[in-house]
Amino acid sequence: MFNKLINDSASKSPWLYHINSGSCNGCDIELVACLTPRYDAERFGFKLAGTPRHADIVVVSGPVTSQSKERLIRTLAQVPEPKCVVSLGSCPKSGNVFKGSYSVEAPLDDYCHVDVSVAGCTPKPEAIMEGLYKAALILKEKREAMHK
Amino acid sequence: MIILRSLFYILIFPGALFTACFGLFLTGVDRKVVARMQHRIGPPLRQPMYDFFKLLGKETIIPHAANKIAFLGAPIIGFVSLALIMLFIPVGGLTAFSGNADMIVILYLITIPGVALIVGGSSSGSPYAGIGISREMVTMMAYELPFVLVLLAVARKAGGSELAFSMEKVAEWQAANGNMLFQWSMIPAAIAMLLVVPAEVGTQPFDVAEAETEICEGPLIEYSGSALGMFKLNTAMKMFVMSGLFVSLFLGGIRTGFAVCDVIVFILLCIVVTIICMSTTHAVTARLKIEHLFKFYWTFVAGMALCSLILVWCGL
Amino acid sequence: MIIVNYIASIILIVLGLYAVCTKKNLIKVVLGLGIVDYGVNMLIVSLGFNDGGTAPIYQMSDLLNGVAPHFFVDPVPQALTLTSIVIGACVDAMALSLVIMIYRKYKSINADDVRRLHG
Amino acid sequence: MIQHFPVLAVMLLFLGAFCVEIFGSNNAGIRNTIAMLAATIALVLIYALIKPVMIDGEIISSWMGNWAPVSGYAIGIGYEVDALSLFFALLVVTTFWLSGVYSMSYMAKDHHLGHYYTLYLMLSGSVLGLVMTGDVFNMFVMVEIMTFASVALTAFRNENEGTLEAGFKYLVIGSMGSSFTLTGIALIYGQCHTLNMAQISAQLCTGMTPTTIMAFALIVAGFGVKSYIVPFHTPAADAYMVAPTSVSMIFSGMVNKAGVYGMIRVLYIIFRAMDKSSVQMLVVIFGAVTMFIGVTMALAQHDFKRLLAFHSISQIGYVITAIGLGSALGITGGLFHAMNHTLFKGLLFLTAGAVLYATGTTNLDKLGGLSKKMPKTCICFLIGAFSISGLPPFNGFVSKWLVYQATYTKAVESGNFVYAIVTVVALIVSVMTLASFIKVTQAVFFGQLPAELKKTQEAPASMLVPMYIMSALCVLCGIFYPIVNKYLLHPATEATLNVTNYIDRMMGDGYAAMMGAQNIEVAPVQFSYWNPIVWLILFVVIFIAAFIVITGSKSSRGQILNPGVKYDPKYATFFSGEEELFSQVGGSDLFWGFKTDWKGYYKVLEGLHSGIVTDYAGWTVMATAIITICMFIFMR
């Protein structure tokens, strides 16, 4: 019963940690817009955490510049299990308009397992919300897989 | 028999379980009310419960720079002391343990969760935590002076010429003479106490220690999993304990005659106090700087409390 | 005339204290301490003095015959003074040896220079 | 037989001091054996007195050379051990024995250890003699030997920075204090023609003359110097800092307790001045100022031992405040706090010594992260820090609780607002004490390990054992305080307030009644805030909480970091993604938010602690003058 309670709550309070890997700030602003009264992500329990140790979902925006790559990987490693990685916008998925630049190392999939990708430049807050919600459900699956 | 009764007191009714459950509920109320004030829908009332259980299911990472005993022991110590404080606070006229000068015991027990946070944060070996603990300690020094003055004023008012440093005496006095809050000489003390409560709990304008946007949650930076869950539970319990302390110090005179009704009234008053002093200030103010916080408490708030103490000492 | 002794001892004590508080030279500070000691010793020895008293020495036969001099100088303060002088000498010796070592280390015996521990 | 134990203990220590110098100056084995043998026998002799004095309520007295009083005049030197004396004697023997064990390995690297043990035994013997003697001049002699030995021990490591200077300041201020005491004793002899405390006390029943008031003020000032109340505290801070740590522990555990003992003896028994509310007020204000200035100075320190020194001053402020209240509750609280201060401050000095031994520095800015390297020392330090901050269930909590209770009771009873302010000050000082120990914890034991301390080793066993004993005593005194109260504090409080027994034992039955002294009934202090069953159940709660934390989720930790080994970034400290750097926050900067608000105050205070010996002497004279003037106004 105790285990079931924990499994159920796993999807109901996903805390986000946001990493900007060289984004143009458009996606970041849209992510923050999700928390504003109009969209209010907090009603699903989403909350921005200050440190990766508290996070369940890591939201990565930006085309993974070579300066930020190592730091990104290190920070992702510091998130406790179970965790999800969400790539926000087209940049981490494909490199978007920055593709081919000497300083861009997209896609993100090369360095870690991405659970959900929200495409768009920039994605609408509704799309972000849906992506995050899917990630929350994946969290629950991961938790159940950990404790069969 | 007496062991069983004490066990019940400590584990279930005013102690651990009740405080924990109700603290989490109160946190939910706080979050909901803040959300409504900002025209949001807000999380469900049981959201803190989900948070807590989710954290129990997460992995606890102990960084290699941390001292394992202090790192994991700190949240436990905080939890125990919070469960104990509730035994000294009269819940609707029911005090589990009392004795003379139990106010000092409360004063000390209330500092322990803060100390636990500091020791835990300090042991994690992060410089962000270093800044966080320094701020937590300065906050503690800041609110301690007005808090002591308020307690002395209440004790003097309730005791008159004899010594009454106990919560039970305060409750008795209020049962006989009406609420402490309605004595005009006690109003400055009540306002001071209303400002002490959020600083003690660490909610919005006074959460310099755990400022997540500037110093990454301060002392909590390296915590994860169940240890973090315990700290979140401690904060929730602190919210209930502090609002309960305010209610029993200033609003303890409302008696219906039935024990159950008294407890319900107590709980409702706790919710009201939480909304007034934590949710509202949270919604309308921005975070202070640490030196401004210290100055604010040692001048304005302590001045209010001292004013009340002098009035009471003059027999008003 | 014993009052002169008292006044003199008090003057000595005050002078000594004045030296300790105002003189910046460490040797003078030690001398000031010595002067205070001498003032106190003089005070003690004067306390036991009786004008016209004899030395407190008498024989058993005098006591038995009842012809002992019952007006003699109090011997206890003299014992106290002796002890106190010995202690005072030790303290002065110690203080002076410390001053010598301070001079070796700091190259100065001015109190204003010997202040590495402060605040 | 048993009446010779006190004298034997004192004599044995002095004898040991000479034997060490004669036989053991070259041979370490003989030297250590003699020193520890003397200390252990003294310990056993004093502990043997617990049963007759503390439990049966006897007062043990002996006259040197059997010079008993003749026709109501005491001529010989008497040793009189009542419960108050024994209480302090127990603290003294415990402290010096533990310090002796500790110095075996702590001092092993130093030279001229023969001198060290000579001075150590002399210091121990003099303090032990001071607390057990019944003769004022003997007391003065012991004070002088104490000062002398303390100065020599302060300057013992004379090649180190500042030791000579500290020794010199200590000597100047200390011998000024002794001179004041001696002048007072001379005046009292001139008035009463006796040096026996009991007889002086009996003779002063008839009232005070200006001479005795002068004597009283001077003796109080003299013992004020020895207990380092503000403004006499300045040499203490320097001496505690630079002395070898085993000696710092003796200083804070014994030497300033000797001053406190002298204050209690003079105020309550010899002059019996504490029934005057104005005298009480004076003592309490001195105590409150002492504790406040001590703790605020401690917050600003950068050196571990200097910080502890200022805390010693601050905690003595608590003791002086409590004994100044003149009530049984206050005396009990003051004595208990004196005892606890000996325990926890001794413990803290020992941990500071262990850190110094292991790393070679006590500068807070250069230390850090030692909890990984010295875990046992860290646990002992935390116990000491929580005790001194007065967190329940440690011993400091109980005694501080008594002090608050006593001051507030006094405030309510006398209707005097000043005592209420003193209560507030005491509570705030307690929080500030906690704050400065948090600073030490962060700067020394937690935080980050500097690269140059990677090879630090844990302290050796003979240094750890005294720390364990002290830690155990700290916890036990906090939990079993009713036993401590029954067997130690209550008899000592009774002895403090009941002068008659003391006089009668020395001068013969009925002497006190003849002179008009009266007994006061003392009700035992009630502790009623804590239900013992709570303790049992507390463990259940702790168990549940621990169960949630430990089994609630899988916990994992990385390998202990070794230099040169590649480690898993998962277990690294979070630096916003950067690699682990050593960007340490210095301990001294930890409270800048607090300090910016107090800039003016600290500027004044640092100006006053100028380090110039003549300034310090000036304050000593000034404070003595203030005490004298106040006494003349109050006692007239």
> What is the residue range of D602's domain?
2-518+588-635
Please state, in angstroms and rounded to a whole number, the distance separating the CA atoms of residues D345 and D351.
Answer: 10
Please state, in angstroms and rounded to a whole number, the distance separating the CA atoms of residues D224 and D217.
Answer: 10
What are the CA-CA distances from residue B64 to residues B3, B124, C63, D457 (Å)? 42, 9, 89, 18
CATH number at residue C27: 1.10.287
Residue D450: is the preceding peptide bond cis (ω within 30°)? Answer: no
Q: How confident is the model at residue C12 (pLDDT cuts 50, 70, 90)?
A: very high
End-to-end alpha carbon distance in chain D: 46
CB–CB of B139/B293 below 8 Å?
yes
pLDDT of residue A42: 84
Indicate the average pLDDT of chain D. 82
Domain count, chain C: 1
Q: Which residues of B touch A56 (CB under 8 A)?
A: 54, 58
Strand pairing of D555-557 and D60-63? unpaired
CB proximity B42 to D under 8 Å: no
Q: Do A71 and D568 touch (CB under 8 A)?
A: no
Please report whether residue C53 resides in a domain.
yes
Q: Do A51 and B221 touch (CB under 8 A)?
A: yes
pLDDT digits (tens, 9 = 90+) for D465-508: 888 988 888 888 887 777 888 888 888 888 888 887 788 777 77
C/D Cβ contact: 3+ pairs below 8 Å: yes
Please report whether residue D556 resides in a domain.
no
For D575, name the nearest residue in chain A, comparing CA atoms only: A75
Q: How confident is the model at residue D552 (pLDDT cuts 50, 70, 90)?
A: low
For D580, name the nearest residue in chain A, comparing CA atoms only: A74
CATH number at residue A74: 3.40.50.12280
pLDDT of residue D303: 84
> What is the residue range of C88's domain?
2-106
Whether residue D520 is predicted with pLDDT greater than 80 in this model: the reply is: no
pLDDT digits (tens, 9 = 90+) for D146-184: 888 889 888 888 888 888 888 888 999 988 999 999 999
CB–CB of B251/B271 below 8 Å?
no
Whether residue B16 is predicted with pLDDT greater than 80 in this model: the reply is: no
Please report whether residue C89 resides in a domain.
yes
Residues 6+ apart with CB under 8 A from B169: B155, B158, B159
Please report whether residue C27 resides in a domain.
yes
Which tops the pLDDT comparison, D407 or A81?
D407
Smallest CA–CA distance, residue B107 to chain A, in Å, is: 31
Torsion over CA of C31, C37, C39 and C42, rounded to 10 degrees?
-130
CB proximity A147 to D under 8 Å: no
C-alpha Rg value of chain B to the nearest Å: 19
What are the CA-CA distances from residue B125 to residues B131, C25, D165, D351, D425 (Å)? 11, 50, 38, 20, 33
Whether residue B230 is predicted with pLDDT greater than 80 in this model: the reply is: yes
> Cα angle at B100 between B98 and B105, to 5 degrees?
75
Smallest CA–CA distance, residue B112 to chain A, in Å, is: 24
Amino acid present at D168? F
Q: D28-47 and D113-132 helices cross at what angle (nearest 10)?
A: 10
Two structure tokens written together for A80: 């406790």
Interface test with A, best of D554, D568, D574 (most A CBs within 10 A): D574
CB–CB of B102/D421 below 8 Å?
no
Q: How confident is the model at residue B232 (pLDDT cuts 50, 70, 90)?
A: confident
D/B Cβ contact: 3+ pairs below 8 Å: yes
pLDDT of residue D564: 54
Smallest CA–CA distance, residue A38 to chain D, in Å, is: 30
Please state, in angstroms and rounded to a whole number, the distance separating the CA atoms of residues B60 and B79.
Answer: 18
Two structure tokens written together for D523: 């009700």
Q: Do A143 and B57 touch (CB under 8 A)?
A: yes
CB proximity D476 to B under 8 Å: no
Whether residue D225 is predicted with pLDDT greater than 60 in this model: the reply is: yes
pTM for this predicted structure: 0.88
Whether residue D274 is predicted with pLDDT greater than 70 in this model: the reply is: yes
> Cα angle at D368 between D442 and B137, to 5 degrees?
10
Please state, in angstroms and rounded to a whole number, the distance separating the CA atoms of residues D589 and D595.
Answer: 9
pLDDT of residue B52: 87
Please report whether residue D271 resides in a domain.
yes
Whether residue D413 is predicted with pLDDT greater than 60 in this model: the reply is: yes
Amino acid present at D358? A
End-to-end alpha carbon distance in chain C: 50
Strand order in the sheet with A116-118: A47-48, A15-20, A57-61, A84-88, A116-118
Which tops the pLDDT comparison, D352 or D452?
D352
Domain count, chain A: 1
Whether residue B278 is predicted with pLDDT greater than 60 in this model: the reply is: yes
Two structure tokens written together for D19: 């034997």
Smallest CA–CA distance, residue C91 to chain D, in Å, is: 7
Q: Which residues of D touch A75 (CB under 8 A)?
A: 574, 576-577
In angstroms, how far is CA C115 from the centroid of its own chain? 28
For D603, name the nearest residue in chain C, comparing CA atoms only: C119
Strand pairing of D60-63 and D78-81? antiparallel
Whether residue B178 is predicted with pLDDT greater than 80 in this model: the reply is: no
Please report whether residue D579 resides in a domain.
no
Whether residue B28 is predicted with pLDDT greater than 80 in this model: the reply is: yes
Q: Which residues of A touch B222 (CB under 8 A)?
A: 51, 53
Closest residue by Cα to residue A83 from A56, A60, A61, A59 = A56
pLDDT digits (tens, 9 = 90+) for C29-65: 999 989 999 999 998 888 887 777 777 777 767 666 6
Secondary structure (DSSP) of D237-283? HHHHHHS-HHHHHHIIIIIHHHHHHHHHIIIIIIS--TTSHHHHHHH
- Where does residue C101 rank: exposed (0-12), middle (13-18), buried (19+ CB within 10 A)? middle
Subunits with at least 3 CB pairs below 8 A relative to chain D? A, B, C
Two structure tokens written together for B230: 């315990």
Identify the residue whose tokens are 């919300």: A129
Percent of chain A at pLDDT > 70 equals 99
pLDDT of residue D370: 80
C-alpha Rg value of chain A to the nearest Å: 15
Identify the residue whose tokens are 């006590």: D362
Q: How confident is the model at residue C15 (pLDDT cuts 50, 70, 90)?
A: very high
Mean pLDDT confidence for D593-608:
82
Q: Which residues of D touch B213 (CB under 8 A)?
A: none
Please state, in angstroms and rounded to a whole number, the distance separating the CA atoms of residues A89 and A23.
Answer: 9
CB–CB of C98/D235 below 8 Å?
no
Identify the residue whose tokens are 């041979």: D27
Please report whether residue D548 resides in a domain.
no
For D555, name the nearest residue in chain A, comparing CA atoms only: A80
Please report whether residue C15 resides in a domain.
yes
Considering CB atoms only, which of D75, D610, D617 is closest to C20?
D617
**Number of A–B residue contacts, CB under 8 Å:** 89
Please state, in angstroms and rounded to a whole number, the distance separating the CA atoms of residues D255 and D289.
Answer: 21
Q: Which of residues 69-98 of A touch D (CB under 8 A)?
A: 70-75, 77-78
Q: Do D438 and B122 touch (CB under 8 A)?
A: yes
Whether residue B311 is predicted with pLDDT greater than 60 in this model: the reply is: yes
Smallest CA–CA distance, residue D147 to chain B, in Å, is: 38
Q: Do B105 and D438 touch (CB under 8 A)?
A: no
Q: Do D137 and C29 touch (CB under 8 A)?
A: no
Two structure tokens written together for D490: 């209550």
**Number of C–D residue contacts, CB under 8 Å:** 121
Whether residue D369 is predicted with pLDDT greater than 80 in this model: the reply is: no
Question: Which of these ranges, B290-299, D239-248, D570-579, has the smallest mean pLDDT?
Answer: D570-579
Two structure tokens written together for A121: 């430049």
Smallest CA–CA distance, residue D74 to chain C, in Å, is: 12
Q: Which residues of A touch D548 (CB under 8 A)?
A: none
pLDDT of residue C35: 92
Mean pLDDT confidence for B257-261:
76
Q: Which residues of C touch D182 (CB under 8 A)?
A: 40, 44, 84
Please state, in angstroms and rounded to a whole number, the distance separating the CA atoms of residues C47 and D190.
Answer: 6
Instruction: Please compute, for residue A75, the number of CA atoms within 13 A of its CA located in the half-sphere on the CB side.
Output: 25
Please report whether residue D453 resides in a domain.
yes
Which DSSP helix (H) or strand (E) runs through A60? strand A57-61
CB proximity D562 to B under 8 Å: no
Domain count, chain D: 1
Closest residue by Cα to residue D326 from D231, D409, D401 = D409
Bridge partners of D135, per DSSP, are D196
Whether residue B264 is predicted with pLDDT greater than 80 in this model: the reply is: yes
DSSP symbol at D560 = P
Please report whether residue C115 resides in a domain.
no
Whether residue D586 is predicted with pLDDT greater than 60 in this model: the reply is: no
CB–CB of D48/D54 below 8 Å?
no
Q: Which residues of B touch A5 (CB under 8 A)?
A: 53
In angstroms, how far is CA B156 from the centroid of its own chain? 22
Residue-wise burial string across D403-437, b where 16 or more C-beta atoms lie within 10 A, e elsewhere? bbbbbbbbbbeeebeebbbbbbbbbbbbbbbbbbb
Residues 6+ apart with CB under 8 A from D349: D240, D245, D248, D249, D252, D305, D308
Amino acid present at B3? I
Secondary structure (DSSP) of chain C? -HHHHHHHHHHHHHHHHHHHHH--BHHHHHHHHHHHHHHHHHHHHHHT--TT-B-S---HHHHHHT-----B--SHHHHHHHHHHHHHHHHHHHHHHHHHHHHHHHS--BTTT--SS--
Q: Which of residues 145-174 of B touch D (CB under 8 A)?
A: 145, 148-149, 152, 155-156, 159, 161-163, 165
Within D486-612, where are the H helices? 490-497, 499-507, 511-515, 532-552, 592-597, 599-608
Please report whether residue C116 resides in a domain.
no
Closest residue by Cα to residue B101 from B157, B155, B22 = B155
